[in-house]
Copies of this chain bind each other. A is one copy, B any other.
């Protein structure tokens, strides 16, 4: 005999662009460019077991609410606040739904020209957030950054490692260190209602950059820990950071067959394989994570 385990459903990748006309201090427009995904859980087993959809609010309705809420909430709402409102709406309006998850990617745009209405996509990173609202377990907010590519041309070593029969890697006293940052940080429950989401995000991003740049590194693990620690230090409303850092290898090219020296100048950027370093950094008093990372 078999049984249905945890399950959820929703609408993924609702592409929402919100223009707040004249909302800038200089009279220019504010542009929000989001990719919103919703996911609902609750008393839904009948759909799976019997094709009974009486509790299944259509994913199309979820999509419609995303667009409507963008109007209802007015201008300049942060993605975390939007996600909290949206998730709470599904729980309050659909009795069978006991948990809602909203995930948002925000793409940055930079004003260009003097029109006040012209923009160029920034492309340097994607801001993310995931909100979970559960009837029993409460509210959690995890925000983050992805697609942020960082590189130090020096200030990185890697040596003192064990040598097994399959080890041919020479020790490195100076190497390029490059990675594409995926970082997420969990906000403390008590700050969720009063979140200054924009400034918290800015502080976390600045912490990631400055820790990457400012850490003399003996391994990417060490840099990861420094980045996570810095976020916790500079963003006290965060209590846990999870990072996934690919080690984007840059190989110093051997130019000696061509009679050339290559003292740290010419590198081949590798695609695959790459190292992958993953780790969590927590405040000592971090409360239980509950559903935050699900």
- Chain A residues with CB under 8 Å of chain B are 1-21, 29, 31, 33, 37, 39, 44, 47-65, 67-68, 70-72, 93-94, 109-110, 112-115, 117-125, 147-155, 158-169, 176, 209-210, 212-214, 217-222, 224-225, 228-229, 232-233, 240, 246-247, 250, 253, 255, 257-258, 260-262, 264-284
Nearest chain B CB to A82 CB, angstrom units? 12
Residues of B near A37 (CB, < 8 A) are: 273, 276
Distance to closest chain B CB from A115 (angstroms):
5
Q: Given A11-B273, A48-B224, are A117 and B29 neighbors across the interface (CB < 8 Å)? A: no
Residues of B within 8 Å of A112, CB to CB, are 150, 209, 213
Query: A93 to chain B: closest CB distance in Å?
Result: 6
Partner of A166, one of B48, B65, B277: B65
A276 to B, closest residue via Cβ: B12
Residues of B within 8 A of A64 (CB): 166-168, 257-258
User: Is the pair B118, A250 in contact by a Cβ cutoff of 8 Å?
Assistant: no
Chain A interface helix/strand/loop/mixed:
mixed
Contact B151 A283 (CB under 8 A): no
Question: Please, how many angstroms separate the alpha-carbon atoms of A47 and B221 in the complex?
Answer: 6
A158 to chain B: which residues have CB within 8 Å? Answer: 53, 58
CB atoms of B18 and A57 under 8 A apart: no
Using CB atoms, name the residue of chain B closest to A163: B61
Residues of B within 8 A of A63 (CB): 273
Is there contact, CB below 8 Å, between A153 and B271? no
**A273 cross-chain contacts in B, Cβ below 8 A:** 11-15, 37, 59, 63
Q: What residues of chain B lie closer than 8 Å to A282, measured between beta carbons?
A: 2-5
Q: A64-B166, A124-B122 are in contact. Are A58 and B2 (CB under 8 A)?
A: no
- Docked-complex contact B169 and A39, CB < 8 angstroms: no
Also in contact, A67 and B7, with CB within 8 A (given A12-B273, A213-B113)? no
- How far apart sit A255 and B72, CA to CA, in the bound complex (Å)? 10
Judge whether B94 and A120 touch: CB under 8 Å: no
The answer for the CA separation of A66 and B274 in the assembled complex, in Å, is: 14
Least Cβ–Cβ distance between A258 and chain B, in angstroms: 5
Within the complex, the shortest CB–CB distance from A254 to chain B, in Å, comes to: 9
